[in-house]
Amino acid sequence: DQQVKQNSPSLSVQEGRISILNCDYTNSMFDYFLWYKKYPAEGPTFLISISSIKDKNEDGRFTVFLNKSAKHLSLHIVPSQPGDSAVYFCAAFLDNQGGKLIFGQGTELSVKP
């Protein structure tokens, strides 16, 4: 039972354009959502999060949008840079479960110069 899903295994974008990574979830009780970025041979690093009571959070080139009625969130990267090429994981957090995260399968973003 996959509670958090990233249906696109890969995405290719031109440098300078917008990258949009999508994530769907099934449990309406999730309290927070997070995005992590992972380079090969490194651990995931935290990128940005959003509380379930908000619909948008912005940090520099990165914006996360949450649509609770559709149980959907997306990460926008504008403008995309070659250094953004990595695997992006979305994750959901339930406050009453010891801080465990439920991860999606990941989307590999490739930003072409």
* Residue from 11, 4, 7, 61 nearest 34 by CA: 4
- We find the least distance from the C-beta atom of residue 15 to another protein, in angstroms, to be 26
The binding site for another protein (CB under 8 A) comprises 6, 9, 31-32, 34, 36, 41-46, 49, 89, 91, 93, 95, 98-106
AA letter at 109: L
- We find the least distance from the C-beta atom of residue 96 to another protein, in angstroms, to be 11
Residues with Cβ within 8 Å of 2's Cβ and at least 6 positions away in sequence, in order, are: 26, 104, 105
- We find the least distance from the C-beta atom of residue 66 to another protein, in angstroms, to be 15
Measure the CA–CA gap between 10 and 106, rounded to whole angstroms.
Answer: 8
Residue number with CB closer to another protein (99 or 113)? 99
